[in-house]
Each structure stands twice: as C-alpha cells, then as structure tokens.
A = this chain, B = another copy of it.
Amino acid sequence: MINTVLVANRGEIACRILRACNEAGLNSIAIYAPNDAGTLFTELASRSVRLEGETIADTYLNQQQILAIAVEYGADAIHPGFGFLSERADFAQAVIDAGINWIGPAPQAIEMMGDKMTARMTMKAAGVPVIPGEEIDSDDEAEMVAAIVESSQRVGYPLLLKASSGGGGKGMRKVEDPDELVEAIMSARREAITAFGDGRVYVERLLTGSKHVEIQILADKHGRTIHLGERECSVQRRHQKVFEESPCPVMTEGLRSRMGEAAVLAAKAVDYVGAGTVEFLLAANGEFFFLEMNTRIQVEHPVTEMVTGVDLVREQLRIAAGEPMSCGELMMRGHSIEVRLYAEDASNNFLPAIGPLAIFRAPQGPGIRLDTGVREGDLVTPNYDPMLAKLIVWAPSRSEALQRMRRALDEFVVLGTTTNIRFLRELCDNRDVVSGRTDTMLIERVWPDGWHPDYEETTLDAALMAAAISESAGLHRAVVAQAGIESGPTSPFQTLNRRYP
C-alpha cells in the first residue's frame, strides 16, 4: 500500500507523475526550488513544499533535505522521475533505509546498470548481444592505454572510446585512425575524470548508419517481466534525442520479439523491478547490440503509452505498492511520434535560449498530447535543462502521424523565447524522416553546416507588417512590463556539451 507520493522532480515530468497520483487517488507532495515557485507542477500536488537553497545541488539534488521533507510530511513513497536523483543508487538506498518506498528498481540494479562496463559484462554473461568491443580491466593510465591499443587491433576501426561512468557524450571519443588512438584515450580519460571522478575507459566498434532502438520493459514484484515494444530514437543532436517514435519504421514481428526477449533477459539479469528501458543499436543488417539500460521512466515514454494503451507511470505506482501490473497482452495499435520542445537556437548549434514565454499557444485536437511543465507567462531561466515540453501525436498510421505532427507544429506558437519548433517542423518534411531511413547521424548528415530557417521574402514582409501594426497600435504592452529578462538569438557562441542535470 502507498498513500502519499513525494515527487522528487520538477517541470513536465513532475506534472506527469503528480497527475497520475491524483488519478490513482494518492496524496502527492511536490517539492520546488525557490525559483520554481508558482510554476505549474506546484499546483498539481496535494501539497507543495519549498526547498531551501539556490543551486541544483542544494535543492533537487539535496538528498538529506528531500528525505527530511518526505519524513516530515508523511510520504511513504518517492518517485524520482528522470534526471536529478533518479539513477542514484545511494539515494534509492537512503530512501529504502528510511522505510519509504522507492518507485524504481533496487539500488543494486541501478548500480549494475549505471557503470557501463559492468553493465556490458553483465549483459554478455546473460547472453544479450553487446557491441563488438572489449572491456578494459585497469584504472592505471599506462596499463589502460596499452590494453586499449592492443584490443583496438581486434575491435577494428572506426572505434569508439567510452567512459565507464559516462553519460551525455562526456568521455566519449570517436577514433577513425590508429594514429589518433593514444591521444584520444588520454583526452577521454581526462574528461571522464573531470566529469565523473572515474577515468576508466573501454573500447567498442563504431557502428555507423545504425538506428537507436530501445525496448520498454515492465517488471512487477510478482515475477512478471514483460516488454512493451520498441521506440526508435535515432534522430539526435549532440547525443540528445529530439524525435522519437513507436513502432520503429523498419521493425518486423520477428525482430521485435527477439529484441523484446533480449530486453526481458537483460532486466531479469539484474532482478529488475518497475519500468525500465533497454537501449540497443540496430545495425542496417538487422543485428542489434546492447547499448545501456535506463533504470527509470524515460522522457520518451509517452509514445509507448500511445501505441500500447498502457499507462506506464500508473503501472510504476502499482508495482511499487506491491500490486501486480494491470496490463495484459501486448496490443500495439497505430503510430506515435514525440518531439521535444527545447528553448534553444537550432540555427546556432542548438544553443540554449532563455526569456519569457510571452505567448505559449499549444496545438489542440484529436490525437495530440502535450506534456508541458510551462505555460504562457512563465520565464525560461538558465537554471535548468532547456526542455520545456514534449509534443506527442498518435494516428492510425505512420504517415498520418507525421501529417498530424506537422499540423500540430503549425498550430504551435511560442514567442518571447527562441525554440526549436521550426526546426522540428522542417524535420517532419525531411526525405529520410518521411521514409523512415533515420539513423543516429541524420541531423549531421542532412545539415552538415547547421540548420537555417528557409523562408520567402514575402513571409518576412508580412511579419514586418505585423510588427509595424503591433507597434503602431500599441499591442501587448503588458508583456513588456512583465518581462524582466532579455531574450533573443545570439551569435559568437558555440555549444560544446550538455550534462544532464
């Protein structure tokens, strides 16, 4: 039994979870940093408690403070969402030690999957195919370099160096030429030490032209572990997904059941409980390889919900409460696509943007779901990840889903903060996206020199006229006064890497 769930997150995923708690008849507690006061998710909880502190470390990453609130307000379960503390085994353990339900897998499972090299070895042992490559046993710099140089001859080029504690592209290096290998190892190691305090690096073959395909799994405490089909999330910029869909356009019944079985095997290998995702690379020849497992709810979980009809967050709540999951046989229907709405300048290397959401007019109509943490009048600040919302569509077929996504993006008006809406809209017209020939290099391949909006001169003329009318008629002055922050596209900046909060 669970009565009161504390949601240790913010923004759209906090909204998603709090609504699931409301529907399940559970009390809910939202926690919010001072700079999140008055935002949407704080309104959706039975009770909202303010965190003390200025930085993320002091607030959403502050295990002690969060646990103290959970105890004080009588939470008997904690849902971590994604990001923040969701994959921190130590936090999961602390929650359990405090006698509170952890809505997620056991700390041991988080740990085994959190270390990429351990996960790789565990999967290999369980019989799940992994990318051709070799784990490196040593943490000593010289030994490590020697071992990698030796195994590189067996792995072959191009290859990829990966940090064992890596994430978000940090400590990852593509190597095309043996001459570059040693320097790349040293550089990857330095970055990994800085970012994770762990310099261990291993080596995998670089599989070009492959798709990122992941399997959603659910496991309850009654011994049932199932998969809920796949999501394809190949379209990425800077190792972050922007366009996700289910089913994968090239999926077959046979391949789905083989990948599904592998994912269930992976989950069982770590005694997994709850919702999780096993990520694979799917090569052009139909071979697939384990990439990593995310031991939490994922950003793109809605596309699976739309095609399977399973409410994943609601199932998480059931499973944590010790109930059996409620879903029956896998019954996939139609096609779902999600795009991520980022406050960023897609024409300038996806540089994050800030500013007021002076107008935030969401699309409506059948087959559309918007998971948003923001609303008109909110301020986008540099304090958090620039993902504002997720726009999800469902339709009977993939081509209808794309049509619906185009229509929805055409209806979506966000002014006052630069967003990637136009980029997403043009992505929906890209030939390879339309045909389903998506792979992880799509954005770089299609826009090698970066994306730039393309419009007729007459479109700008009309916009200038609209500005002139607005100025002359004194429209919308209120927004000016409310906005305390400047916004707009910028220029001499190039963005390197993102760390997930």
> Which A residues form the contact surface with B (CB < 8 A)?
15-16, 19, 22-25, 44, 302, 305, 309-311, 314, 326-327, 331, 333-334, 364-372, 395-397, 400, 403-404, 406-407, 410-411, 478
Which residue of the partner chain B has the closest CB to A301?
B366
Report yes or no: A366 in contact with B19, Cβ–Cβ below 8 A. yes
Among B302, B310, B396, B404, the residue within 8 A (CB) of A309 is B396
Which residue of the partner chain B has the closest CB to A18?
B365
Would you give the shortest CB distance from A67 to chain B, in whole angstroms? 28
8 residue pairs, one from A and one from B, having the closest CB atoms: A19-B365, A23-B403, A22-B407, A23-B407, A309-B333, A23-B404, A309-B334, A309-B396
Report yes or no: A366 in contact with B403, Cβ–Cβ below 8 A. no
Report yes or no: B333 in contact with A23, Cβ–Cβ below 8 A. no
Report yes or no: A25 in contact with B403, Cβ–Cβ below 8 A. yes
Report yes or no: A410 in contact with B365, Cβ–Cβ below 8 A. no
Report yes or no: B366 in contact with A369, Cβ–Cβ below 8 A. yes
Would you give the shortest CB distance from A339 to chain B, in whole angstroms? 16
Report yes or no: B310 in contact with A396, Cβ–Cβ below 8 A. yes
Report yes or no: B331 in contact with A333, Cβ–Cβ below 8 A. yes
Report yes or no: B311 in contact with A23, Cβ–Cβ below 8 A. no
Would you give the shortest CB distance from A307 to chain B, in whole angstroms? 10
Report yes or no: A16 in contact with B309, Cβ–Cβ below 8 A. no
Report yes or no: A365 in contact with B396, Cβ–Cβ below 8 A. no
CB-CB under 8 A from A22, the residues of chain B are 407, 410
A302-B372 contact in complex given A314-B400, A403-B24, C-beta closer than 8 Å: no
Among B311, B326, B367, the residue within 8 A (CB) of A367 is B311
A395-B334 contact in complex given A22-B407, A24-B403, C-beta closer than 8 Å: no
Report yes or no: B364 in contact with A370, Cβ–Cβ below 8 A. yes
CB-CB under 8 A from A403, the residues of chain B are 23-25
24 contacts between A and B (CB under 8 A): A15-B364, A15-B365, A16-B365, A19-B365, A19-B366, A19-B407, A22-B407, A23-B400, A23-B406, A44-B411, A305-B366, A309-B334, A309-B396, A310-B396, A311-B366, A311-B395, A314-B400, A331-B331, A331-B333, A333-B333, A364-B371, A364-B372, A365-B371, A478-B478
Bound: A364/B375 CA distance, A:
11
Bound: A435/B305 CA distance, A:
27
Determine which residue in A309, A365, A410 has the highest number of CB atoms from chain B within 10 A of its CB, and name it: A365
Report yes or no: B396 in contact with A326, Cβ–Cβ below 8 A. yes
Which residue of the partner chain B has the closest CB to A302?
B366
CB-CB under 8 A from A309, the residues of chain B are 333-334, 396
Bound: A326/B398 CA distance, A:
13
Determine which residue in A333, A396, A397 has the highest number of CB atoms from chain B within 10 A of its CB, and name it: A396
Would you give the shortest CB distance from A461 to chain B, in whole angstroms? 20
Which residue of the partner chain B has the closest CB to A403?
B23
Other CB < 8 Å A-B pairs besides A15-B364, A309-B333, A309-B334, 14 of them? A16-B366, A19-B407, A22-B410, A23-B395, A23-B403, A23-B407, A309-B396, A310-B396, A311-B395, A364-B372, A365-B369, A365-B371, A366-B371, A478-B478
Would you give the shortest CB distance from A311 to chain B, in whole angstroms? 6
CB-CB under 8 A from A331, the residues of chain B are 331, 333
CB-CB under 8 A from A333, the residues of chain B are 309, 331, 333
Bound: A400/B19 CA distance, A:
12
Which residue of the partner chain B has the closest CB to A410?
B22
Would you give the shortest CB distance from A400 to chain B, in whole angstroms? 7
CB-CB under 8 A from A366, the residues of chain B are 16, 19, 302, 305, 311, 369, 371
Determine which residue in A23, A314, A400 has the highest number of CB atoms from chain B within 10 A of its CB, and name it: A23
Bound: A482/B370 CA distance, A:
30
Would you give the shortest CB distance from A39 to chain B, in whole angstroms? 14
CB-CB under 8 A from A368, the residues of chain B are 369
Which residue of the partner chain B has the closest CB to A367?
B311
Would you give the shortest CB distance from A437 to chain B, in whole angstroms? 22
Among B310, B364, B396, B407, the residue within 8 A (CB) of A311 is B396
CB-CB under 8 A from A367, the residues of chain B are 311
Which residue of the partner chain B has the closest CB to A312?
B366
CB-CB under 8 A from A410, the residues of chain B are 22
Would you give the shortest CB distance from A474 to chain B, in whole angstroms? 14
